[in-house]
Structure 1
Amino acid sequence: MTEPTHTISDRIQQKLDDLTRAERQLALSILENYPASGLGPLTALAQDANVSVPTVARMVQKLGYKGYPDFQSELREELRAKVKNPIAKHDMWAEAAPSEHLLNRFTDAVIDNIRLTLSQINPAEFDAASELVADQSRHLFIIGGRITHTLAEYFYLHMQVIRPNLTHVQSTSNTWPHYLLNAKEGDVFVIFDVRRYENNTLKLAEMAHARGAKIILFTDQWRSPVHHLADISLSCRIVVPSAWDSAATTMLLIETMISSVQNLNWDETKERLETLEVMFDQTKLFRKFT
């Protein structure tokens, strides 16, 4: 069985403008505790959202389902996909693998991920996130997890050149609470968290949020629990024919944000780059071809 091209969350977000007030109230209630919110009885979902049972029935039909059981069935499939380990993900793809070469299949999957991700990204939210990251009056904390620490390090390396006043925190380290001592209201936490979401990352986000920090989250299509605390969430499609999820779409957003922040601070970034090049020359860190 293949993973769904569009999640229920995608469908809800695409239909929000077409829903009635009660249906929109229900949709937002589902998204608040997604995907677990729709796993119980129809009456329980209606009660939690403070809407009528017919409202639930109408909305799931507007989302393209024959009825609530059909809606729940897909939700359970999403939940199973969300918690798959690498072996299970590999077996799923192997069973459905077509005869074409993996290079083509993998590339097609990445292109689909990029296309679907960009269709869901709100440009105004992306710009707002870039402006928060570029604001040098705010201390910038960058956090990655067991796998996503490589993305966090890449982002941090570039931000080091573009701006001062920042810290790289690894959520898997038992020293990360020390960094929170320096966090204050209005500071910015950029957090990377994808499926098999990490408890340390959620706890760190909760504590940063309690201190009044702004949170920008890079996550997957199912969205990390940190989503409920984030000021801005950037959800990336990650499914490819592999035992591992893809970071290609996330890297695209990271590199785009690096470019955006660089442009917002270009005068200072240029000066810092020139100073850095002088330091490289002095240390003879790189070979020069003349």
Structure 2
Amino acid sequence: MTASPHTVAEMIRRQLEGLTPTERKAALVLLGNYPVPGLQTVAQFAKQAEVSNPTILRLISKLGFSAYADFQQRLRDELEDRLRSPLTKDVRPSEVTDGEDATAYSAYWASVTEAMSASRHLIRPSEFDGTIALLSDGRRPVTILGGRLTSSLAMQMYLHLRELRSDVHLIQSQTGSWAEHLLDVNSSHTFVIFDIRRYQDDVVRMGQEASARGAKLILFTDEWLSPLSAVAKHVFALRIAVNSNWDSFAPLSALIEAMIARLSALRWPEIKMRIEELEAARRKLDL
């Protein structure tokens, strides 16, 4: 099974390298405030991107749309999905109310399995390897940030990564103190950010500012793409929609585990010594 790109944003991410400089400029403008520019007229989109009208039309043609109206309809459909909350998501009643609990459990498990399978095919090896290279570089401090719900994923990444290497930091405090984590940030820093639909403005602004200071961003997001995809070095846009009022973190969590496994395998002799030292320190504290 090979999953095709589901959103316009994912189509763009997959084709960025093959676009002309002007097409790429327009594409990045669209990603930077997705999907607003694409919902405007061709002329308005072109003016905002500072390119010509024909450039916009060539871009949407390369994305596989025969008409600008078709392109805009896809964006409108995505916008509706992107803004869904647990109150507005459609769940098939027969799969959650019909039969015994085991039936409902099996149906939910099947939907998560489908999301996991689709997500696996949306992970590009170059993105994965590039992320591993950044995270394994001990000279690069790593800062991790999640949102209101995705903070649990940020914590998962942090708890594993801090045992594998030094200089790993988790942002947990109130937004008002986040600025402290931007002090001294430059091109030698790596930020790992989790941001899924109904994207958090404070998380987005934090990522944008870190990027503006030169930090390399690794973004974990969903198929509708956080606005941070426009500035992130590596983007993992996975399927999170399942047959529930709530989205599933399972694909994102599995990707974190895959990265930790790869990092461990690449540097095991060094990591083994670090964990042995950690275990020795724990035993002393226990005593």
**TM-score, scaled to structure 1:** 0.82
The separation in 2 between residues aligned to 1:168 and 1:247, in whole angstroms, is 19
Q: How far off its partner does 1:19 sit?
A: 8.1
After superposition, what is the alpha-carbon deviation per residue over 1:121-159, rounded to whole angstroms, capped at 9, x for unaligned? 221121111111111111111111111111111111111
Aligned residue runs from structure 1 range 205-244, under 5 A: 205-244=207-246
Match of residue 9 from structure 1: 9
Aligned residue runs from structure 1 range 174-185, under 5 A: 174-185=176-187
Match of residue 149 from structure 1: 151
Aligned residue runs from structure 1 range 1-290, under 5 A: 6-12=6-12, 30-45=30-45, 50-52=51-53, 56=57, 59-60=60-61, 63=64, 67-89=67-89, 92-94=90-92, 101-170=103-172, 172-284=174-286
Secondary structure at 2:138's aligned position in 1?
Answer: coil
Matched to 1:56, the amino acid is L
Matched to 2:84, the amino acid is K
Match of residue 288 from structure 1: none
Matched to 2:229, the amino acid is H
- Range with greater deviation from structure 2 (65-74 or 18-27): 18-27
Given that 2:239 and 2:251 are in contact with CA atoms closer than 8 Å, whether structure 1 keeps it comes out as: yes
Matched to 1:239, the amino acid is A
Unaligned segments of structure 1, at least 5 residues: 286-290
**TM-score, scaled to structure 2:** 0.82
Between the aligned residues of both structures, percent identity stands at: 35
Across the aligned residues of Structure 1 and Structure 2, the Cα RMSD in angstroms comes to 3.2
Secondary structure at 1:86's aligned position in 2?
Answer: coil
Secondary structure at 2:176's aligned position in 1?
Answer: coil
When residues 73 and 239 of structure 1 are mapped into structure 2, their CA distance, relative to the original with a 3 A threshold, is same
After superposition, what is the alpha-carbon deviation per residue over 1:213-271, rounded to whole angstroms, capped at 9, x for unaligned? 11111111111112222111111111011121110110111111111222232222101
When residues 171 and 116 of structure 1 are mapped into structure 2, their CA distance, relative to the original with a 3 A threshold, is farther
The separation in 1 between residues aligned to 2:173 and 2:76, in whole angstroms, is 29
When residues 95 and 38 of structure 1 are mapped into structure 2, their CA distance, relative to the original with a 3 A threshold, is farther
When residues 96 and 5 of structure 1 are mapped into structure 2, their CA distance, relative to the original with a 3 A threshold, is farther
Secondary structure at 1:175's aligned position in 2?
Answer: helix
After superposition, what is the alpha-carbon deviation per residue over 1:41-69, rounded to whole angstroms, capped at 9, x for unaligned? 24434555635559728945972x56433
When residues 25 and 138 of structure 1 are mapped into structure 2, their CA distance, relative to the original with a 3 A threshold, is closer
Q: How far off its partner does 1:26 sit?
A: 6.1
Given that 1:160 and 1:166 are in contact with CA atoms closer than 8 Å, whether structure 2 keeps it comes out as: yes
Given that 1:191 and 1:215 are in contact with CA atoms closer than 8 Å, whether structure 2 keeps it comes out as: yes
Unaligned segments of structure 2, at least 5 residues: none
Secondary structure at 1:105's aligned position in 2?
Answer: helix
Secondary structure at 1:246's aligned position in 2?
Answer: coil
> Number of aligned pairs?
279
Q: How far off its partner does 1:281 sit?
A: 3.3
The separation in 1 between residues aligned to 2:250 and 2:236, in whole angstroms, is 14
Secondary structure at 1:191's aligned position in 2?
Answer: strand
Flag the structure with more relative contact order, 1 or 2, with Cα contacts below 8 A and sequence separation at least 6.
2
Given that 1:162 and 1:262 are in contact with CA atoms closer than 8 Å, whether structure 2 keeps it comes out as: yes
The separation in 1 between residues aligned to 2:160 and 2:240, in whole angstroms, is 23
Matched to 1:102, the amino acid is A
Given that 2:22 and 2:55 are in contact with CA atoms closer than 8 Å, whether structure 1 keeps it comes out as: no
Matched to 2:217, the amino acid is I
- Range with greater deviation from structure 2 (105-114 or 276-285): 276-285
Secondary structure at 2:81's aligned position in 1?
Answer: helix
